[in-house]
């Protein structure tokens, strides 16, 4: 498998000063996806912003793994609801424009 878009977990953890076990725990709790290639653990670079956010929760805010899982779940719900509100506003604007033209 090509590791071009992958970040080695051990190097990332060394740079962030966190244990690789934290990354593995996030994976076990389905918060990120990791891949093992030839005995090395990687994660895709598109997960980097999400992973950095979880690390800030863990280190800066002292939130445990269960708390991070809850916060991420709530943030995902907020994001979904914001997209739904935008969609409904757009639908309403189209209906309103059609009503005004008649």
Mind listing the pLDDT tens digit for each residue in 28-63? Answer: 999 999 999 888 999 999 999 999 999 999 999 999
| Contact criterion met (CB below 8 Å) for 58 and 13 | no
The pLDDT value given to residue 97: 74
Q: For the chain, which domains are there? A: 6-101 (1.10.1660.10)
Q: Given the DSSP bridges, would you call strands 6-8 and 35-37 parallel, antiparallel or unpaired?
A: unpaired
The pLDDT value given to residue 1: 64
The pLDDT value given to residue 102: 62
pTM: predicted TM-score of the whole model, two decimal places: 0.77
Q: Which H/E stretch holds residue 37? A: strand 35-37
Q: How far apart are alpha carbons 54 and 73 in whole angstroms?
A: 12
């Amino acid at each position: 498998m090509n590791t071009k878009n992958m970040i080695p977990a051990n190097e990332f953890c060394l740079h962030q000063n966190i244990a690789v076990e934290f990354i593995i725990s996030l994976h076990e709790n389905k918060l990120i996806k990791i891949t093992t290639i030839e005995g090395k653990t990687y994660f895709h670079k598109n997960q980097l912003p999400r992973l950095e956010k979880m690390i800030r929760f863990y280190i800066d805010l002292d939130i445990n793994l269960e708390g991070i899982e809850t916060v991420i779940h709530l943030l995902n719900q907020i994001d979904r609801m914001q997209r739904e509100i935008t969609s409904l506003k757009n639908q309403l604007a189209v209906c309103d424009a059609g009503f005004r033209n008649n």
